[in-house]
Amino acid sequence: MPFSNFFKSRLKEQSPENVDVPSFNRRSFLRRGISVVLLSAGVLSWTLAHADSIDTKEIKFAPDEDGNYLLTAEYAIELPSRLEEALKAVPLFFLFEFELTRRRWYWLDEVVINGQVLYRLSFNALTRQYQLSINSNRNDTTAGIRGLTFSSLEEALRFISRVRRPQVLLSDALQRGERYRLMTRMRLDLSQLPKPFQLNSLTQREWVLDSETRRINVEVK
C-alpha cells in the first residue's frame, strides 16, 4: 500500500465520528446526583442522631431485700436555649426505654421484659410553673399516671433525670446462674412534636437529645 493511502486510512480511523466516546446520559447523571444528595442527607441524619446530648450517669439493676430486681437510672439533662423557648409554646416528651434479655448461644436472645416511661413536660404561662405527667403507655399521651408541678425548669429536669423503679421484676422471673443483658435509653421523643417542629429537628442539632442505647450485663446469683 502506498504511504499516502496508509496515512489517509489512519486519519479516517482517528476521525471524531469513528472514535468511541461514551455518550452523555442525562438520566444516569441525574441518578448519580440524587444518590450524592441522599448520601449527604444520610450522613447529616447519622450525625444528628448520634448527638450524645444526654449523659448517662448511672444504670443499676439489683435485687432488694425481698430478692425482687429493681431498675434505676440517672441522667444529666440540659435543654438548649432553643428548646427552652419552644417549651413555652409546645410540650416536650422525654421517653425512657428499657429491655432485659436472656442470652442464648443456640438461638436469638429471649426478651424477659421490656417497657417504657413517657414524660410530658409543659409550661403554664399563667402560673409560670412547669407541669409534668408520667405515663407508661406511649400510645396514650394524655392520660398521665400522675401530675407534678415544679417552680423551675431545673427541678423538673432533675426529676426526669432520675428514673426510679419503672418496673419491678419478681425474683422467680429470673433464673439463677443465667446471664442477662439490660438495655436502656433516654431521649427526647421528636415524633410527639407538631410537624413544623419536627422539620426543624431535621437540620438543627439542638433538637436531638439522646443518651443512646446503653448495655450492661447482669448475672443472677
DSSP line for 158-176:
HHHHEEEEEEEE-GGGS-T
Between the alpha carbon of residue 213 and those of residues 39, 56, 92, 206, the distances in Å are 24, 10, 20, 19
Cα dihedral 85, 75, 133, 129 sign: negative
DSSP-derived secondary structure letter, 201:
H
Q: Do 167 and 182 touch, CB atoms closer than 8 A?
A: no
Residue 172's DSSP bridge partners are none
Query: Per DSSP, which regions of the chain are E strands?
Result: 55-63, 69-76, 92-102, 110-124, 129-135, 146-150, 162-169, 179-188, 214-219
Nine cell digits for residue 96: 425512657
Between the alpha carbon of residue 73 and those of residues 76, 173, 203, the distances in Å are 10, 21, 30
pLDDT in tens, the chain (221 residues): 554 454 445 445 444 444 443 443 444 433 444 333 323 333 333 333 444 479 999 999 888 888 888 899 999 998 988 889 989 999 999 999 999 999 887 888 889 988 899 999 999 999 999 999 998 754 444 445 568 999 999 999 999 999 987 666 776 778 888 889 999 999 999 888 777 666 665 566 667 889 989 999 988 87
Q: Alpha-carbon dihedral of residues 27, 28, 32, 38, nearest 10 degrees?
A: 40
Residue 96: partners with Cβ closer than 8 Å, 6 or more residues away = 73, 116, 117, 118, 119, 163, 166, 184, 185, 186
Q: Do 60 and 182 touch, CB atoms closer than 8 A?
A: no
Nine cell digits for residue 31: 441518578
Best CA proximity match to 153, nearest among 177, 132, 168, 182: 132
Provide the 10 A C-beta neighbour count for residue 221: 5
Q: What is the reported pTM?
A: 0.69
Element (H, E) at 7: helix 3-13
